[in-house]
Amino acid sequence: MTPFEQAHQDWMEGKIQLPRVYHGDSELNPFLYQIAVHKYYLKLMSVGIGTKQVKLSDIKKFYGIKGKSAKDVYNSFTELIKSYNLNL
């Protein structure tokens, strides 16, 4: 189980609390928001734009993704999202 999957399971079981994320009047799942943000940063990294907010190695560890370049990790990440049946 990856750290992402463990954190999501702990959140679902009420073992951890996360900040609430809102879009307008509706509350969003914080993990969906996190996935969207990480996808955005990976896309930037895959085209050569660096970010200070998150490192590629952190994303790889958190989601259990292997890959040398940011483009490889981005492709693996999008496949992982598809396996979770999420639409982002």
Give the C-alpha distances (Å, rounded to integers) separating 77 from 29, 58, 67: 19, 13, 10
Half-sphere exposure of 69 (CA within 13 A, CB side): 9
* Mean pLDDT, range 65-85, rounded to an integer: 91
b/e per residue 60-70 (b: at least 16 CB within 10 A):
bebbebeeeeb
- Please indicate, yes or no, if residue 88 is contained in any of the structural domains: no
Domain tally, the chain: 1
- Please indicate, yes or no, if residue 13 is contained in any of the structural domains: yes
Domain of 30, in residue numbers: 3-83
pLDDT band, very low/low/confident/very high, at 86 (cuts 50, 70, 90): low
How far does the chain reach from its first CA to its final CA, in angstroms? 23
- Please indicate, yes or no, if residue 50 is contained in any of the structural domains: yes
pLDDT digits (tens, 9 = 90+) for 20-72: 999 899 998 898 899 999 999 999 999 999 989 999 999 999 999 999 999 99
pTM over 0.75: yes
